[in-house]
Structures are given as structure tokens and as C-alpha cells.
């Protein structure tokens, strides 16, 4: 029996595009205050699964529940309310280059709340401090390093205090030191704020540092679902090969 409540349930999710079946009865669950990692090779279907969960694709066959809401049965207004409770951290950061970091973070609060400018600035500063960014409020995205941009994008994804955060390849393009720093930040946010996360990544070093649970996709099918320790002990040759290749040169002492 799982110790935390289920926050996402995907059951028998299948999808066909242009007469080609991309997903085949995909099924898994994600739990509160855990980091669930979806992994697989390019073309395995992981981004397609994420887009279904985020409501960007209509469900053709199967069932998805998020925060207790059946995506096939909720109204449009219920769906809008649901997705306000979800943060999304995009691979490219998704920040607007024409706005300062402070303006980027404040934009969702301006659009979805009645807070005054002073309160919005205070919330933005709080979120920047949470991701260890100081003195960047008035900077533009082009003035930040790659690692700082990732943290700013993470702060923006959390600006509405979502209980659930989705991250699409958050460490893409980062050097090993910056990647380890971002991983540590994600784990700390989970522990300190109780945020649940679903993360797409192929980087084994990150998976070893952050994952509580693994969903391994291959050609649109789940070939493994379980905890990180179960994945590392798996007898499946594809799962074993993925981790064995990725762990070459990885220092397990850094997994703290």
C-alpha cells in the first residue's frame, strides 16, 4: 500500500495519429510529495503522454485523472481551474525576452489574481529566493546564464503555488555542475514545500538523484513502472541496459 495519496492516474491510454498508433494502453500512477520520472528514447511516446496529461491532446482511449478530476468528464471551466493548480517548467524556459525576470514571474499573478503591484513584487521576490536567485528581478533573460535561466523558469512555474509541477527535460543543455545544482533544488522543493512532480528526462545522473518512481516507455508502451530501487534491480534487459550505460562514470557519492 502506498503511503501517499495518488495525485495522477493514467489507465489504458492509447493514441493514434495519422493512422499510426503512438501509445498502447499506457498505465501508471504518480503520488503526492514524490518525483515521478518518465523516461525513454526519442520517439518512445513520453512527450505524447505528457501532452495528454496537460490537456493538449484529447483522450481517444483510456482514462486520466489529475488531482481527483477525470479529464474526460470535467467541464471547460473545471478544466481551467484545474490547470491553474498545475505548474509547467518548459525545456527552453519559456520566458519572454522582452520582459524582465520580475515581469515574467509577475505576469500570471497579474492575469489570474487581483493582487496589487506591491504584493505581486513581494511574491516574485519570495519565489526567486526559493530558487536561490538574488538581484535578478530587473534583469532580462538574455543577461542570465543557462543555469540561472532554468531556476528563473522554475520560479515562474511555481508562482501560483501549484501542488503539482510538470518538468519537460529541465536539465537540457546544462553542464554537470549546474545540472546537479538544479536536481538538488528540485528535491529540496519537494521536501520543503511538499510539491509533487512529474519530470521527463533521459539523464541517468538526474534520475538517480531525484526519482522516487520510474515510468519507462518504449515504442509507446510501459515496459517498466515502479520505484527507483526496483528499476535498478530490474531484470528487464532494456531497463538494465539504460541504467548501466548511464551510470558509467557516475559517482554515486554525489547522489545525496
User: Measured between alpha carbons, how far is 69 from 83 in angstroms, rounded to an integer?
Assistant: 11
Which of these, 38, 40, 39, 13, lies nearest to 24 by C-alpha position?
Answer: 13
Per-residue pLDDT of the chain (256 residues; tens, 9 = 90+): 567 899 999 999 999 999 899 999 999 999 999 999 999 888 899 999 999 999 899 999 999 999 999 999 988 889 888 888 899 998 777 899 999 999 999 999 999 899 999 999 999 999 999 999 989 999 999 999 988 999 999 999 999 999 999 999 898 888 899 899 999 999 999 999 999 999 999 889 999 999 999 999 999 999 999 999 999 998 889 888 888 876 765 554 444 4
Looking at residue 43, its pLDDT comes to 86
Number of H helices, E strands in the chain: 9, 10
Looking at residue 81, its pLDDT comes to 86
Cβ 193 vs Cβ 210: under 8 Å: no
Looking at residue 245, its pLDDT comes to 77
Looking at residue 196, its pLDDT comes to 95
Residue ranges of the domains in the chain?
6-85+162-254, 94-161
Cβ 84 vs Cβ 112: under 8 Å: yes
User: Measured between alpha carbons, how far is 138 from 101 in angstroms, rounded to an integer?
Assistant: 6
**Is residue 62 within a helix (H) or strand (E), and if so which, with residue range?**
strand 61-66
Cβ 49 vs Cβ 22: under 8 Å: no
Is 6 strand, coil or helix?
Answer: strand
Looking at residue 250, its pLDDT comes to 54
CATH architecture, range 6-85+162-254: 3-Layer(aba) Sandwich (3.40)
Which of these, 38, 71, 255, 253, lies nearest to 167 by C-alpha position?
Answer: 38
Give the strand order in the sheet containing 61-66.
20-31, 6-17, 61-66, 69-70
Amino acid at each position: 500500500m502506498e503511503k501517499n495519496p495518488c495525485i495522477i492516474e493514467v489507465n489504458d491510454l492509447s493514441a493514434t495519429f495519422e493512422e499510426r498508433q503512438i501509445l498502447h494502453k499506457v498505465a501508471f500512477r504518480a503520488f503526492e510529495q514524490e518525483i515521478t520520472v518518465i523516461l525513454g528514447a526519442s520517439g518512445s511516446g513520453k512527450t505524447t503522454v505528457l501532452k495528454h496529461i496537460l490537456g493538449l491532446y484529447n483522450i481517444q482511449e483510456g482514462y486520466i485523472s489529475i488531482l481527483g478530476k477525470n479529464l474526460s468528464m470535467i467541464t471547460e471551466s473545471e478544466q481551467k481551474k484545474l490547470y491553474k493548480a498545475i505548474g509547467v517548467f518548459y525545456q527552453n524556459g519559456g520566458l519572454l525576452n522582452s520582459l524582465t525576470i520580475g515581469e515574467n514571474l509577475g505576469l500570471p499573478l497579474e492575469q489570474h489574481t487581483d493582487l496589487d503591484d506591491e504584493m505581486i513584487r513581494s511574491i516574485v521576490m519570495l519565489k526567486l529566493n526559493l530558487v536561490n536567485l538574488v538581484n535578478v528581478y530587473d534583469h532580462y533573460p538574455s543577461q542570465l546564464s543557462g543555469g540561472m535561466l532554468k531556476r528563473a523558469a522554475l520560479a515562474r512555474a511555481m508562482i501560483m503555488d501549484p501542488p503539482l509541477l510538470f518538468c519537460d527535460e529541465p536539465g537540457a543543455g546544462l553542464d554537470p555542475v549546474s545540472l546537479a545544482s538544479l536536481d538538488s533544488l528540485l528535491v529540496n522543493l519537494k521536501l520543503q514545500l511538499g510539491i509533487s512532480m512529474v519530470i521527463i528526462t533521459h539523464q541517468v545522473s538526474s534520475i538517480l538523484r531525484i526519482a522516487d518512481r520510474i515510468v519507462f516507455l518504449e515504442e509507446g508502451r510501459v515496459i517498466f513502472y515502479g520505484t527507483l530501487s526496483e528499476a535498478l534491480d530490474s531484470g528487464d534487459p532494456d531497463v538494465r541496459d539504460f541504467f548501466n550505460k548511464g551510470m558509467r562514470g557516475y559517482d554515486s557519492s554525489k547522489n545525496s
